[in-house]
Amino acid sequence: MLTEHEIYTVFHLAAQTLVGPAAASPAATFETNVRGTWIVLEGCRETGVERVVVASSDKAYGAHEELPYREDFPLRPTAPYEASKAAADLLARSYWPSYGLPVAVTRFANIYGGGDTNFSRLIPEAVSAALDGRAPVLRSDGSPQRDFLYVEDAAAAYLAIADGLDREDVRGEAFNAGGGRPHPVGEVVAMIARLAGTDVEPAILGAGNPAGEIDRQYVDPAKIRDVLGWEPNVDLEEGLRRTIEWYREHPEARAPTAVA
């Protein structure tokens, strides 16, 4: 084990994070999300990093009839982004039993908050649109349901998991975190419009669910609550209020035009 480094905790979040580009460019997505993960894991193993938290995703579960997702559900990815996250999840967790690397993975719901410039995502696009007085773009008909987690709650969950890695019952484990219940995306866009004070109707591009995406998803957060004491502090309305405020103060970070 090398001793001359001063890195004790690694949070591995770097990834190609978008579902559409993953479907268009699977090889590049696997290169970043899967190979990128084992490169980080190998670096951590070789240098004796003491805690590693790797971002998997609720998308790694794939579609299940039974909801909410629990950590003991099988990973059943069917699309490239889902498969890349499931692969990273399995690789990462194998480093605890195989090499004694204290590692855990996160399977978090849709994270939102200020500072997100991925405008193919619902909330940055809808907030930008609401503040700029244009119609937000909905890639579905508004009916798909998603679980939303405010970014500060997500950060607190990452820290709770990293702290917990000193314990045997956290090492090699996966942890869900989410807001606790699903919301139809149309309801989220309507809430954004109300909180931002606009009455522009969304541009509905899809019928039902976008191709290749799962219709209804939410996670059971009982394990992270029971094992680590983490619970979300910010509900959707308050999180959206804070998110709108951030984009109001940062007009340069808003979506330049509608994103198809």
Q: Which stretch binds ligand NAD (CB under 6 A): 12-20, 67-75, 186-194, 238-246?
A: 12-20
* 17 contributes a contact to ligand NAD by CB under 6 A: yes
What does the per-residue mask of binding to ligand NAD show for 31-50, with x meaning CB under 6 A? -x---x--------------
Q: For the chain, what is the radius of gyration of the CA atoms? A: 19
Provide φ and ψ at 105, rounded to 5°. Answer: -120, 150
For 111, half-sphere exposure in the C-beta direction (CA atoms, 13 angstrom radius) is 26
Which range binds ligand NAD by CB under 6 A, 13-21, 70-78, 212-220, 233-241?
Answer: 13-21
Please indicate whether residue 81 is annotated as part of the active site.
yes
111 binds ligand NAD (CB under 6 A): yes
- Report the residue from 16, 128, 140, 217 that binds ligand NAD according to the rule CB under 6 A: 16
In this structure, are strands 51-55 and 137-138 parallel, antiparallel, or unpaired? unpaired
Does residue number 15 form part of the binding site for ligand NAD (CB under 6 A)? yes
Which listed range, 67-75, 108-116, 163-171, 204-212, lies at the site for ligand NAD (CB under 6 A)? 108-116
Cα distance between residue 86 and residue 36, in whole Å: 14
Alpha-carbon distance of 137 to 152, in angstroms, equals 26
- In sequence order, the 6+-apart residues with CB closer than 8 A to the CB of 172 are 93, 96, 97, 103, 104
Catalytic-labelled residue, pool 61, 81, 218, 247: 81
Report residue 233 as tokens. Answer: 């502090």
Q: Is 119 in the site for ligand NAD (CB under 6 A)?
A: no
Binding positions for ligand NAD, rule: CB under 6 A: 13-17, 32, 36, 55, 57, 108, 110-111, 118
